[in-house]
C-alpha cells in the first residue's frame, strides 16, 4: 500500500505490506534504531515515538495507519550536534544507565512537555508509567524531566 509519512521532518513514500509495523519500518528500512524493540507487546515503552506530537508505541502501530501523519523519533530530536534540552537533562541528571529504555523515555518526556510544560512529580510518574526501566530506579528520570521542563521554559 502506498504510504506517505513525514519522518523527522522529511516526507517519505513507501510501498508497504498492510501488516508492517511502524517499529520495523523505522528500524529495518530506515535504520532509525534509536527506537528499541523491547517487549513487542505494548508493555515496556522502549519503542515510544511521537505521532503528531503525541506519544505512541511503534511496536503496536501499523505503518499504513500513520499515512499522511508526522512521526518523530529520537534521531530527529537534536539540532545537528546540539542536543535537545531533554537529552541534556537526562545526561546531566544521570538518568541513563544501560540506555536501552532511554530513547523511549525521552520521547515520552517530549510528549508530556508538549501537553504540560510544568508537570508535578506525580504527573511525571503518572505519564511515564508505561515506560519501564530496569536500571535507574526512576528517581533520576523524574529529576531529568523536571529539569528539562525548566530548561525548555528558558528557551
Ligand atoms: S517494544 Fe513497544 S512497548 Fe515494548
Ligand atoms: S537505563 Fe537500563 S533499562 Fe533503563
pTM of the model: 0.97
- Tell whether the model's pLDDT for residue 21 goes beyond 80: yes
Residue nearest to atom 4 of ligand 2 (CA): 133
User: Separation of 38 CA from ligand 1 center, angstroms?
Assistant: 5
Ligand nearest to the CA of 38: 1
* Amino acid 139: pLDDT: 97
Binned at pLDDT 50, 70 and 90, residue 154 comes out as: confident
Q: How many CB atoms lie within 10 A of CB 6?
A: 15
- Tell whether the model's pLDDT for residue 13 goes beyond 90: yes
User: Separation of 128 CA from ligand 2 center, angstroms?
Assistant: 14
Cβ 88 vs Cβ 20: under 8 Å: no
Q: Give the Cα separation of 101 and 96 in Å (integer).
A: 8
The residues, any chain, with a CB within 8 Å of residue 19's CB and separated by 6 or more, are 62
C-alpha torsion sign, points 133, 136, 97, 83:
positive
For the stretch 77-123, pLDDT in tens is: 999 889 999 999 999 999 999 999 999 999 999 999 999 999 999 99
Q: Look up residue 144 and give its three cell numbers.
A: 531529568
Measured in degrees and rounded to the nearest 5, phi and psi for residue 100 equal -65, -40
User: Separation of 74 CA from ligand 1 center, angstroms?
Assistant: 15
What is the dihedral angle through the alpha carbons of 69, 106, 145, 142, rounded to the nearest 10 degrees? Answer: 130
- Tell whether the model's pLDDT for residue 155 goes beyond 80: no
Binned at pLDDT 50, 70 and 90, residue 30 comes out as: very high
Ligand nearest to the CA of 56: 1
For the stretch 123-134, pLDDT in tens is: 999 999 999 999
Q: Give the Cα separation of 104 and 90 in Å (integer).
A: 12
Q: Give the Cα separation of 72 and 110 in Å (integer).
A: 10
Measured in degrees and rounded to the nearest 5, phi and psi for residue 79 equal -105, 90
* Amino acid 24: pLDDT: 98
* Amino acid 19: pLDDT: 98
Q: In this prediction, what percent of the chain has a pLDDT beyond 70?
A: 99
User: Separation of 136 CA from ligand 2 center, angstroms?
Assistant: 6
**Residue to mutate, 39, 56, 100, ligand 1, most ligand atoms under 8 Å from C-beta:** 39
Mean pLDDT of 37-41: 98
Q: Considering the domain 85-154 in this protein, what is its CATH number?
A: 1.10.150.120
Fold observed for domain 2-75: Ubiquitin-like (UB roll) (3.10.20)
- Domain range annotation of the chain: 2-75, 85-154
Amino acid at each position: 500500500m502506498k504510504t506517505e509519512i513525514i519522518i523527522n521532518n522529511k516526507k517519505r513514500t513507501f510501498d508497504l505490506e498492510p501488516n508492517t509495523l511502524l517499529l520495523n519500518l523505522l528500524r529495518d528500512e530506515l535504520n532509525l534504531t534509536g527506537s528499541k524493540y523491547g517487549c513487542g507487546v505494548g508493555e515496556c515503552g522502549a519503542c515510544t515515538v511521537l505521532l503528531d506530537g503525541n506519544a505512541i508505541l511503534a511496536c503496536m502501530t501499523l505503518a499504513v495507519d500513520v499515512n499522511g501523519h508526522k512521526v518523530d523519533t529520537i534521531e530527529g530530536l537534536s539540532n545537528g550536534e546540539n542536543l535537545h534540552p531533554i537529552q541534556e537533562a537526562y545526561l546531566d541528571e544521570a538518568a541513563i544507565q544501560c540506555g536501552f529504555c532511554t530513547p523511549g523515555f525521552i520521547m515520552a518526556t517530549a510528549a508530556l512537555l508538549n501537553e504540560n510544560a510544568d508537570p508535578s512529580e506525580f504527573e511525571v510518574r503518572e505519564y511515564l508509567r508505561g515506560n519501564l526501566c530496569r536500571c535507574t530506579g526512576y528517581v533520576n528520570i523524574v529529576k531529568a524531566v523536571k529539569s528539562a521542563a525548566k530548561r525548555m521554559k528558558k528557551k
